[in-house]
Each structure stands twice: as structure tokens, then as C-alpha cells.
Amino acid sequence: MSRVYNFSAGPAVLPEEVLKEAAEEMLDYQGTGMSVMEMSHRSKAFDQIIKDAEQDLRDLMGIPDNYKVMFLQGGASQQFAAIPMNLMKKGKAGYIITGQWAKKAYQEAKKYGEAVELASSADKTFSYIPDCTDLPITEDMDYVYICQNNTIYGTVYKELPNTKGVELVADVSSCFLSEPVDVSKYGVIYGGVQKNVGPAGVVIVIAREDLIPETPAVENTPTMLNWKTQADADSLYNTPPCYGIYICGKVFKWLKKMGGLEAMKALNEKKAAILYDYLDQSELFKGTVEKKDRSLMNVPFVTGDKDLDAKFVAEAKAAGFENLKGHRTVGGMRASIYNAMPIEGVQALVEFMKKFEAENK
């Protein structure tokens, strides 16, 4: 068996320990004589799995009791619609456009109400986070929406925007559980898990109870997108993504064992610094975003020469560094170094980049 260093932006690397455990339990989950994939979502065994997963997530993030945790399907993209459908009571919301995912959420919201662009960094290919200290936010807005870590462009909000008292809704898909978070600063915090938490097919929505409406703001909201239905049923209104939730649960336990989110933050900072420090002194490779807004999770870089970029990606792949090609819309390279990427992977990548630089001067 040989495992590569997988720098994919998502679905992405998972802790080896978790995969091994899942493999061991594949045919017989804890004496049940069946795989979690084969088991009823109403069974005692699964009930324990989803309850433990929720409790471990609550412990890790310090989620206050007045927040509901929902394990749903449809990915982050489905929540682009569910958010306005549930929350747009006054019919208006503000969006900060820091990349493609924020823009998609904004465009989706426009179908259900008035979505206002509060700020954008499109003028410089989303290579920075706009100043969010004094945005044109008005009282008649139901929420302010951000994409906290911009997976494609490699930027992150180091500080949350001043929302002037309006509820904050954040897509944290690509920075989920990468560092401690004060959940109480958000009305809703959500993310698809396939970047930093688990296998594709699960999206976790953490919403303050009083924001979950008795009936959705938008008429004829599909039952499956009605947060109240999902929250009241403890994510078991219909069959949830059982196996995915089980793996997420194992990742939560792994994170606890690793020392929790403070420890992950320290490790992630250390990993990112190895890569950024090299980029900052390299004569061949350059980081593409403003230093102050650099993501700890997604690190885009270029040589400035498309052919050389392609050569690097090909040679890196041959050497066991997978998925370093940048997003198809931006080109260049991107190394996603989520929680489960070992520090050795980042060190080895930098060594490989140094060698490539020496050979291609």
C-alpha cells in the first residue's frame, strides 16, 4: 500500500487513523454484525453515532445550548438557497463577495429576495478581503453573509465584519474546525464537510434557535430545506447521510485526541508558515494573495509562467504530491493543507519545490 500526499481542495485528505478504524469496522460495527452503511438510521447503534457526533462537535466548538446542530445533505450549495428561504423575513440581506462561493450564494439568494452586494474583491481577482469595518448595512437586512475562508483564492477573514447588529451567516466549509471559533458571534455557521471534516455528502448547519423560523420566510420552501423540520427531527426527518456522519464523528474524536481546536490552530499555523515562508523568499514561486489575508488552509501560488506551472504540477504528481493544480478558473497551483495533512507532507512539498526551483532557474 502506498499513500500519496493529497493536496486536494475537496474532497480532501482524511486522518489515516480514522480511515483505518473505519476499515476495521467495515464488516462488523461494534458487534452489530453489519456495516454502518447497512444499518437502520433508527437503530440504537446509529442513534448513538449521531448523538456522539453532535456532542463531540459541541465540545470541540463550544457550541452554546441555544444553537441547533443539523447534519444535512445537499452540500453547502443547497444551503445557498436554504439560508434565504429560512431567514429572509424582511426580504433583504447583505452579501460580501470574496470569491466564487460567496458569489454563488449571493446569486442564489437573489431568487428569493433582495440580496445587496455590500463589498467585493472581484476587482483584484479576489486576492484580498475587503475592509469590512463600515459597510452599507441597514436595519432592514435579515442577515449579513460571508464566506469565511475562500477555498479557491486562498483568503480568510482574520476578523469578522462589523455587521452593525445584523445577524452574521458564515460559510466555513474550508476552515471548519481548523481553529477555535466563537459561535456566539454568528447567527448561523455552516459548511460542507468534505474539505476539512469528512466525506462528501454531509453539510453541517449550526443555527441559533431563535433564528430558526416556525415557518420558513419564503412560501413553499421544500420540506427538506425547512430548518425547523430538520431541527425538530434531530436531523432524522428522513434518512440522513449515515455513513458520512459516522466518519465525521470519528474525525471529531480524532480532533479531541489531537488536543482540540487550539492545538489544531497551532499546528495549522506551523504548517502554513513552512509554505508561506518559502514562497516569500523564492525567486520562482509567488503567493497570489495579500499577506494579511492569507488562508491557513488553501495556499495558491504561481511561477508566472503557465508552461512552468504545468511542468511543476506534472513533476510533483510523479513524485507523489497529488492535486496541486489550481482551480480551473484561476490556474497556477494550490496546496490545500487541511487538518489531516501531516506536517511532513508540507515539509516534503517545500523540499520538492526547492529542488524544482534549483532545476528551473
> Cβ(67)–Cβ(208) under 8 Å?
yes
Instruction: State which residue has the least CB distance to ligand PLP.
Output: 75
Nearer to ligand PLP, 120 or 282 (CB): 120
Helix (H, G, I), strand (E, B) or coil at 330: coil
- The residue within the footprint of ligand PLP, chosen from 54, 108, 171, 309 (CB under 6 A), is 171
Let me know: does 258 contact 134? Beta carbons within 8 Å.
Answer: no
Does position 18 interact with ligand PLP (CB under 6 A)? The reply is no
Pick the closer one to ligand PLP by CB: 77 or 229.
77
Q: Does 13 bind ligand PLP (CB under 6 A)?
A: no
Within 84-123, the residues that bind ligand PLP by CB under 6 A are 101
- Here the cell at position 131 is 475592509
Which residues are bridge partners to 71 per DSSP?
Answer: 204
Q: Are 7 and 321 in contact (CB under 8 A)?
A: yes
Sheet holding 298-302, edge to edge: 286-287, 298-302, 333-336
| Residue 149: CB minimum distance to ligand PLP, A | 6
CB 5 within 8 A of CB 187: no
Rank residues 147 and 242 by Cβ distance to ligand PLP and give the closer one: 147
One residue of 12, 22, 57, 76 binding ligand PLP per CB under 6 A: 76
State how far the Cα of 146 lies from the Cα of 148, in Å rounded to an integer. 6
Contact between 15 and ligand PLP per CB under 6 A: no
Among 77, 162, 229, 282, binds ligand PLP (CB under 6 A): 77
Cell 494579511 belongs to 292
Beta carbon of residue 295, minimum distance to ligand PLP (angstroms, whole number): 11
Stretch that binds ligand PLP, among 54-62, 171-179, 181-189, 283-291 (CB under 6 A): 171-179
Q: Give the distance, in angstroms, between the CA of residue 236 and the centroid of all CA atoms in the same chain.
A: 23
Is residue 52 within 8 A of residue 44, CB to CB? The reply is no
Concerning whether 101 is annotated as a catalytic residue, the answer is yes
Residues catalogued as catalytic: 101, 171, 195
Residues engaged in binding ligand PLP (CB under 6 A): 10, 75-77, 101, 147, 151, 171, 173-174, 192, 195
